[in-house]
Amino acid sequence: MTHVVHLETGRHLYGGGRQVLMLSKGLTERGVQSTLVCPPDSDIATSADPFVNVHALNMGGDLDAGFAFRFSEFLRDIEPDLVHVHSRRGADMWGGLGARWAKVPAVLTRRVDNPEPALLAPMKYGRYQRVIGVSNGILNVLRQMGVAEDKLRLVYSAVDAENCQPVWTHDQFKEAFELHDNSQTVACVAQFIPRKGHNVLFEAWADVNAACPDARLLLFGRGPDRERLQAQVGDSVYGASVHFAGFRADIRDFIGLTDVLVHPARQEGLGVVLLEAQAAGVPVIASRAGGMPEAIADGVSGELVEPGNAGELAKRLIRLLRDAELREAMGAAGRVRVADYFSPQAMVSGNLAIYREIVDGLPR
């Protein structure tokens, strides 16, 4: 049986980690053994399904050059056929080096679209036989950094549509987030960091709140900017309509009960939460940046706005909140789009096709 080692060093189970678990499950179903290397006590280690072998290995970030040695020693012990690195912050640099020392071919999936110094590209990406982007937006960034075209491949992220349908009742949803019967809900699921665009959203929300006083903004996530953003909202006239709901691992259990998902990020590789919302039948408003235009069919399953344009964002939100038929039509179109382009089967097949370019004898 072909054996693939997946390296995922994130401590929290964000979208990328869920993609690794989904891929590992799909590979197992097709006869490919997966081993997951991740930090001890990380969320993905405790969430890994029984079909994934888990090996805990400490990783200290970009400066932890010793990780390359530890990882290569592990690879020499188990002799896999391929390494698939899924993380940044040192894992991409040192994981590739460790695979090279162990003489195991390796591929890297990149999920973010932020540029890096071109001088790093040969050292980081030269160690991989293939570099996979989860959107064309990411591949374009890699091209600009000088990564060789013959190494680049596209495999979109995936969502399991069945797992995105609401588990909660409307009453549970209203009680959990202190909503009244007439409330309309706009959800934003994003880390509290500058590139996610919360400041733009709050500027737009002042107009939305004035035009749609029953609208409530639910903010899900965590991050270093949370306290500053909470203070900003607390000092505003619309503060009572905004709810900081924290990080929720169960977001898919109720995202389908919201009226609109908004994602005003300035940068985004693709945005798995955009796919999850569409799979649940929720229209999405997002920025025309990174891979987001590939996630959303503009005017069909959602709306795209220029990054940083609070006025345009407000207009699109108000329009959707006032038009139930439009929300329903976009929600239905989103379900179809996700099924057509972002299924787990398509994602697993895409990765397997790339593995086959490197390793002989893989199943189809």
Q: What are 64-123's pLDDT values in tens digits?
A: 889 999 999 999 999 999 999 998 777 899 999 999 999 999 999 999 888 888 788 888
Of 257, 248, 255, the closest CA to residue 169 belongs to 257
Distances in Å between the alpha carbon of 76 and those of 70, 81, 86, 150?
10, 11, 20, 28
Predicted confidence band of residue 222 (pLDDT cuts 50, 70, 90): very high
Per-residue pLDDT at 363: 66
Where along the chain do the CATH 3.40.50.2000 domains lie? 3-158+343-358, 161-341
Q: What are 42-58's pLDDT values in tens digits?
A: 888 887 767 788 999 98
Sheet with 260-263, strands from edge to edge, namely 242-246, 215-220, 184-189, 260-263, 284-287, 302-305
Helix axes 91-101, 66-78, angle to 10 degrees: 50
CATH class of the domain at 3-158+343-358: alpha beta
pTM comes to: 0.90
Cα 229 to Cα 100: distance, rounded to the nearest angstrom? 44
Q: Evaluate if residue 361 carries a pLDDT over 70.
A: no
C-alpha atoms less than 13 angstroms from C-alpha of 227 in its C-beta half-sphere: 1
Do residues 194 and 225 touch, judged by C-beta distance below 8 A? yes
Architecture of domain 161-341: 3-Layer(aba) Sandwich (3.40)
Predicted confidence band of residue 174 (pLDDT cuts 50, 70, 90): very high
Mean pLDDT of 335-350: 97
Q: Name residue, tokens 């940046």.
A: 289
Distances in Å between the alpha carbon of 358 and those of 84, 108, 334?
12, 13, 35
Q: Evaluate if residue 362 carries a pLDDT over 70.
A: no
User: Counting beta carbons within 10 angstroms of the beta carbon of residue 217, is it exposed (0 to 12), middle (13 to 18) or buried (19 or more)?
Assistant: buried
